[in-house]
Structure 1
Amino acid sequence: MKAIREARGISLRQLAKDIGRDVGFLSRVEDDKQGAGDETLRRYAAYLRVPIRAITHKETSRDQERPGSPHREHPH
């Protein structure tokens, strides 16, 4: 989460303000010291314009099979 936010040049303070969450709370979430609910994750991902799986690191088998994925098996 933090790496994507920082790569986009967005401060934690600005993100917290824009998605209506406490900066301390988001800091703990980014540092894996506290969990976040679905609504917070949706707002965070939407603000960064990424799928939720990009910030939660959860992939399904379907995600791994999408075209261009390094996990996709190529037919011979």
Structure 2
Amino acid sequence: MHTFFIAFTVFAMGVLCITSYADLIGTKLGKHICFGLGVFWTIRLFVQLFVYSPKLWKGKTFETIVHILFSLFWTYMGVVFLWTALN
């Protein structure tokens, strides 16, 4: 159940971004939502880099590639949402 609700939350974020992008970038409430999403993805990046054990991916080719790609993805998401919120 926990995994389902995490996936559902991330899916809902994506649907919000696809269906309401004009409101997200053009209204005060949208900027607040973008700020919250930026904080969410930045915290997710922090957890990936400093909380999870490197033993989960170090020395494993596929896991290392996935670790790097998702770290870049979470960096991108945090920057884009925070940039949108603050500009």
Determine which structure has the larger helix proportion and give its number.
2
TM-score range, shorter chain: under 0.3
User: Taking structure 1 as the reference length, what is the TM-score of the superposition?
Assistant: 0.27
- By relative contact order (CA 8 Å, sep 6+), the higher-ranking structure is 2
